Amino acid sequence: MSVSWGHRLLASVLSALASAGLVHLTMLLAFWISDSSNAAIIGAAHQYFLSGTLISFVVVFAFGVFGLLGRWWGALVAGIVAGLVAPLAGTSFQVLTQGIAIDETFVPSVASTLLTVNFGFLVTTIAVVPTVGRLVYRSLVGAQSSTTADARVALVRLPAKNLTDGQVTHIDRSPIDTDLADRQWDAYVAAFAEHGWTTQEVPYAERLADSVFVEDAVVVIGGLAVIARSGSEERRGETDGVEEVLAARRYPIERIMSPGTLDGGDVLVVGTTVYVGRSSRTNADGIAQLRALLGARGFDVVAVPVTRALHLKSTVTALPDGTVIGHDELVDEPRLFGRYLPVPEKEGVAVVALDEETLLMSEAAPETAELLRELGYDVVTVDISEFEKLEGCVTCLSVRLS
C-alpha cells in the first residue's frame, strides 16, 4: 500500500532521531565508564561525536525517505553506511576545525580511528539502525499501511479438485475446463491485489466441489460474522475453514441454526438495509434469524423473493452509490429496491465495488460494462466463464471484509 510523503517524512525523522540519539548516548556512557565515571569526559565525548551523530541522522533520514528502512536489508545497509561515513566525516570535520593541514597522512589517520576511538560508534550504529531505527520506522509507516490494507481484505478459496461436480439448479450443466478455471481464479484474485486489496486464502477444501464460492459460507456485516447454513446439505461443510479464519481475525461469531437455512449469496447490503433472498437455499427461518441478529445492530432486513436464479446476488447487486442493478428477466420484484437500474445482460448483474469509483465484473457483459462506464465508474472485467457454468459470479468468489 502507498504511504503519504508527509507520513514517510515524519517516520524518517523520528527513526533517524532515535537511531542517532541512542548511538550518541551510548558513546557518552561508554567513555564515562571507561574513564572511571569521570563526569568531565562526557563534555569532551559529546563535542567529539556531535558532528558524526548529525551526519548519521542525515544518512538514516535519507534511507527512510526512500522507503528503505522498512526492509531489513535496507536498514542494515543504512546502518553500515551511517556507521562508516558518519564517524569518518565527523572526525575529519573535527580535525579540520583545529587547523591541522591536510597531507598524505590525513586519510590514513582518520581511517584508523575506525579501529580505535570510532570503533564503538561504528559497531553501535550497525546494531541500532536495523533494530531500533527500523522498529520506529515500521511502527509509523507500517501502521498506516496495515490499517489501510486491513480495511480492504478479501477472503478467497482455491477451486476444489472436483469442481466439475459443482451443483447447478437453474441452468443446464456444461463441461468445465478445470485448468482454465484455475487460471481464471488466479486472474480474479490478482484483480483485487492490483487495486489495493489484501487477499487471504481460506483453507483448501479439496473434495467440496462448490467451496470456491466462499461467499455462501458466511455473512460479514457491521463487524459481525454470521456463519451460514446452506439449504444444500452437501455444502454445509464449507463453513469450517471460513469460521476458522474469521475467528483468528477476532470477529464475533454467530450462526444460523436449524431449521433455518441461509446462503451468503442471498444477502445484499445497501447502507443499513440488508436485502435477503428467499431462495431455494435460504428459507424463512434463516431470514428471521438474520433479522434478529442484525436488527439489534441497526440494520433493516428486507426479504426478497428469488425464484428465477440460484441466489439474490445472481439477480441484483448494488453500485457504490446505493443503486441496485439487475436484469429484468431474473428479478422477481424490482419495486422492493429503493433505486433500481435494469442492465442489458444477465451476466452484468453482479459487480464488486473495489472502491468508490471502481467496479469488478464479468467480461461476458460488455454492454453493461459500457453502461456503467457512462455512469462514471472505472470498470475492471475478468473472465469467469467456467464459474458461470456453475451459476457463479464475481461476488460469490470472495468474502469482502470491508
289-344 residue pLDDT tens: 999 999 989 999 999 999 999 999 999 999 999 999 999 999 999 999 989 999 99
pLDDT at 275: 98
Confidence category of residue 145, pLDDT binned at 50, 70, 90 = very low
Q: Which residue has the higher pLDDT, 402 or 360?
A: 360
Nearest to 311 by CA among 269, 291, 281: 281
Report pTM: 0.65
Which residues 6+ apart lie within 8 Å of 3 measured at CB?
A: 67, 141, 144, 145
Name the H helices within 66-142.
72-97, 106-112, 119-128, 134-137
In this predicted model, what pLDDT tens digit does every residue of 259-286 receive, in sequence order?
A: 999 999 999 999 999 999 999 999 999 9
Q: What is the DSSP letter of 213?
A: -
Name the H helices within 195-233.
none
Domain residue ranges in the chain: 5-148, 152-400
Burial of 235 per CB tally in 10 Å (0-12, 13-18, 19+): buried
Q: Contact 69/78 with Cβ under 8 angstroms? A: yes
Percent of the chain with pLDDT over 90: 80
In three-state secondary structure terms, 280 is coil
Checking if the pLDDT of 1 tops 50, the result is no
H or E, element range at 381: strand 378-382
Per-residue cell: 140: 509509523
In this predicted model, what pLDDT tens digit does every residue of 215-266 receive, in sequence order?
A: 999 999 989 999 999 999 999 999 999 999 999 999 999 999 999 999 999 9
Which residues 6+ apart lie within 8 Å of 67 measured at CB?
A: 3, 8, 74, 141
pLDDT at 147: 42
How many of the other CB atoms lie within 10 Å of CB of 281?
Answer: 26
Q: Contact 355/379 with Cβ under 8 angstroms? A: no
Q: Count Cβ neighbours within 10 Å for each residue of 312-339 and write b for 16 or more, e otherwise.
A: bbbbbbbbeeeebbbbeebbbeeeebee
**Candidate from 22-36, 101-115, 120-134 with smallest mean pLDDT:** 101-115
Distance CA 327, CA 347 (A): 9
Checking if the pLDDT of 348 tops 70, the result is yes
Checking if the pLDDT of 390 tops 60, the result is yes
Computed over every residue of the chain, the mean pLDDT equals 92
Which residues 6+ apart lie within 8 Å of 241 measured at CB?
A: 157, 202, 203, 204, 205
Please state whether 149 falls in left (phi above 0), alpha (psi between -120 and 50) or beta: alpha
Distance CA 343, CA 370 (A): 10
- Which amino acid is residue 213, in one-letter code? F
For residue 351, what are the CA distances in angstroms to 191, 252, 315? 13, 27, 11
Burial of 248 per CB tally in 10 Å (0-12, 13-18, 19+): exposed
Pick the CATH number of 152-400 from 3.75.10.10, 1.20.120.160, 3.40.50.300, 3.30.200.20: 3.75.10.10
Which residues are tagged catalytic?
311, 396
